[in-house]
Structure 1
Amino acid sequence: MKLVLGRDDLAAAALSAVREEGTEPERVGIKPVHKASRGFVNHSDADLCELAIVTVLQALDHGKPVLLLPVTALGRHQHQTLVTMSKLSVADVEGRSVGVRAWSQTTGVWVRGFLTEQYGVDLRKADWTTYEGHHVEGAEDPSWVKRAPEGSKLPADFLDGRVDFGIMGNELPSDDRIRTAIDHAHEVAEQWSLDQGFIPVNHVVGVSETVAAGHPAAVLAAYDALKSVLTAKEEAGRPFPLHPVGFEALRGAFTKAAAYALEQDVISRAVDYDELVERTCTALGVSPDRLGG
């Protein structure tokens, strides 16, 4: 069984658990981990893979044999990822240029959702530029979004002033001129989470339908091991877990992300979270409560 997990502690736990179930595991080292998504979703290059939440939604939308294992590998607040180098603010997004690595990038989906829901932004009135395609074959950018010229990179375009705003998480360059477009972004993000009841989720874990049906005990053992690591490291005092585990714990984040994705033409149809739950449980031959449902 081939596993792709970005965190060493999660990978070690999953490898050990799968091996104890009699299945020989192999960790496939791909960095950054999101670069493994395309091969996993479209060509089954791995069996269990850390995956962006929006990639899971697009995979379902396009009929890919990908299931959700309800484990959060990466969660974080997102309001601070909308940045600018000018005196512009979030109120100026309409009529300005905004760059995002990919239209389906989960950070971008969260931020555009905040723009429409909290700030009343009409996304079609901004000049959107993307730099990469989608992880899921068959997915396309909306007609009102343009692709940057081949070889262009968002951080460079942003620093050189070719886009007014950028949505950047880990790829944010280090430059003293950069500031968040949303004033007091971290405080706003914390209040958003208090209102919603969860912290935004970026990465979960996907498992191939074939492996789930053929090696359910190994997959369930991996789930238990990942859950053990994440719950043990959860920080005390947080109103909500940063790494929620289990179907019910992830319901809020998935439901909100699916609504944002549909609004933004990232997916072509509404996704009912229970459809994801049912597909996973059917393949593994378990009831939802076995996976925190």
Structure 2
Amino acid sequence: MNTATQPLKLKTALKTYPHTRALKAGELTDLAIELAFEDVEPIHRAFAPMARHQAYDVSELAIVTYLQAKACGKPVVLLPAVVAARFQQGCIIYDARNGTLDVSSLAGKKVGVRAYSQTTGMWVRAILEKTYGVPLDQIEWITIEGAHLEEYRDPPFVRRVEPGKQLVSMLRAGEIDAAILGNDLPDEPGLEPLIDDAAAADRAWYALHRYVPINHVVVVTKTLADTHPHAVRAVYDLLCRGKASVAAENAGKPDKLLFGYDALRGPLEETLAFCEQQQLLPRKLSVDEILADSIGILGEAGR
């Protein structure tokens, strides 16, 4: 085969979801590209290498990590594709064996989160403040890791514990009063959601905001976007086809896979506002600046 007709091989980091399974299994393909998937487990281990050094051509990335990377001038380009989203109100827990706790009594308490910049933490803080009126500046935020971006520095009200500490064990020991956890939420008697009937609270949040909080998006390197825009279009088309492959099973449910500039604009504006309020960004970003990186490549296909 002539090398000119061979597909462009793209080093790719994507978690296996129902909507990415067919891509990763080679059932959905494009003649222009070959997605060479790296085995990254858990997927958040790909985020720092991608944000810092563009370790992949195509990568899943937490939305806060992407926004920080963009604000810091990193050469990454957002595709208008959400690959992971979830309702967040069940993600803050406490140990009921240490006494009762609720959102009205969080002021003055210690709340742990893996990193202050973790996307789940950003969403939970936004919900605590905007929905429940919790004064975030009256909480002592405890972290066990730093940000995926080396340039980012935690605000002065955030305290990092010594290496080796884990949030769940700190919660059991009473060293923190509550903890924000994502995919690592424990199923353990005594560890209870802080927000009563979190599922109902999430439904109420959705009724007001009309989108599911965004966790992970897809980015490509600026080098790929500049030199092989056809490949970027092919990547986005495959992601769209992956979403379409699970459309029937997701019918009638809140759309957790927002695709396209029009669908993302409002949620991105609100996400940016939350990040700015929580001192997560080193400079102000606009949605137009973010979308400009790919809109010239995807055009109407990205609408």
Deviation track 1:243-284 (CA, whole Å, cap 9, x = no partner) reads: 1111221223222211111111111233211111111224x3
> How do 1:18-37 residues align onto structure 2 when only pairs under 5 Å count?
20-21=31-32, 23-37=33-47
- Overall identity of the aligned pairs, in %: 34
Matches of 2:169 and 2:147, distance apart in 1 = 21
Which residue of 261, 272, 278 maps to 1:264?
278
Q: CA deviation at 1:16?
A: 6.9
Secondary structure of 2:48's partner?
helix
Taking structure 2 as the reference length, the TM-score comes to: 0.90
Separation in 2, partners of 1:268, 1:59:
10
Shift of 1:218: 1.5
Of stretches 196-205 and 269-278 in structure 1, the one that deviates more from structure 2 is 269-278
**Among 228, 236, 243, which residue is 2:251 paired with?**
236
What amino acid maps onto 1:129 in structure 2?
A: I
Name stretches of at least 5 consecutive residues in structure 2 with no aligned partner.
1-9
Correspondence for 1:51 among 61, 66, 71: 61
User: Hey, what does 1:186 align to over in structure 2?
Assistant: 199
| AA in 2 matched with 1:265 | Q
- How far residue 169 of structure 1 moved from its aligned partner, in angstroms, is 1.5
Q: Distance in 2 between matches of 1:27 and 1:71?
A: 18
Shift of 1:174: 2.1
Query: How far apart are residue 180 of structure 1 and its match?
Result: 1.1
Q: Is the 8 A contact 1:227 1:245 kept in 2?
A: yes
Residue by residue, what CA displacement relative to the aligned partner does 1:150-182 show, whole Å, maximum 9, x if unpaired? 111112212222110100121122211011111
Specify the SS of the correspondent of 1:20: coil
Contact 1:18 1:218 in 2 (8 A): no
Mapped partners of 2:206, 2:241: distance in 1:
24
Tell me, yes or no, if structure 1 residue 103 matches structure 2 residue 116.
Answer: yes
Moved more, 264-273 or 42-51: 264-273
CA distance in 2, matches of 1:187, 1:210: 44
Matched AA of 1:267: L
1:3 aligns with 2:16: no
Matches of 2:169 and 2:31 in 1, distance apart?
Answer: 47
Q: 1:245 aligns with which of 251, 256, 259?
A: 259
Match of 1:42 in 2: 52
Against the structure 1 CA distance between its residues 183 and 176, is the aligned structure 2 distance closer, same or farther, given a 3 Å change threshold? same
Letter in 1 for 2:159: K
Corresponding position of 2:71:
61
Partners of 2:125 and 2:113 in 1: CA distance:
10
In structure 2, how many angstroms separate the alpha carbons of the residues matched to 1:49 and 1:252?
23
Q: How many residues are paired up?
A: 287
The one of 78, 84, 102 aligned to 1:89: 102
Distance across 2 between alignment mates of 1:94 and 1:233: 43
Q: What stretches of structure 1 move > 6 A for 4+ residues in a row?
A: 14-18
Q: Distance in 2 between matches of 1:172 and 1:138?
A: 29
* Structure 1 unaligned residues grouped into runs of 5+: none
Structure number with greater Rg is 2
- 1:221 shift after superposition: 1.1
Question: For the aligned residues, what is the CA RMSD?
Answer: 1.7
Say yes or no: does 1:125 pair with 2:138: yes
**SS of the residue aligned with 1:104?**
coil
Question: How far, CA to CA, are the matches of 1:148 and 1:12 in structure 2?
Answer: 41
Deviations 1:21-59 (A, max 9, x none): 0x4432111111111011111112101000011111101
Deviation at 1:232, TM superposition (A): 3.1
Q: Tell me which residue corresponds to 1:72.
A: 82
- Assess if the C-alpha contact under 8 Å between 2:30 and 2:234 holds in 1: no
Give the superposition deviation at 1:90.
Answer: 0.9
Q: Quick check: 1:259–1:270 contact (8 Å CA) kept in 2?
A: no
In structure 1, the partner of 2:3 is none
Amino acid at match of 2:256: L
Given that 1:97 and 1:165 are in contact with CA atoms closer than 8 Å, whether structure 2 keeps it comes out as: yes
Q: Please, which moves more after superposition, 24-33 or 102-111? A: 24-33
**AA in 2 matched with 1:290:** A
Q: Distance in 2 between matches of 1:11 and 1:277?
A: 27
* Contact kept in structure 1, 2:28 and 2:242, CA below 8 Å: no
**CA distance, structure 2, for counterparts of residue 270 and residue 187 of structure 1:** 34
Aligned AA (1:250): L
Q: Structure 2: which amino acid aligns with 1:133?
A: G
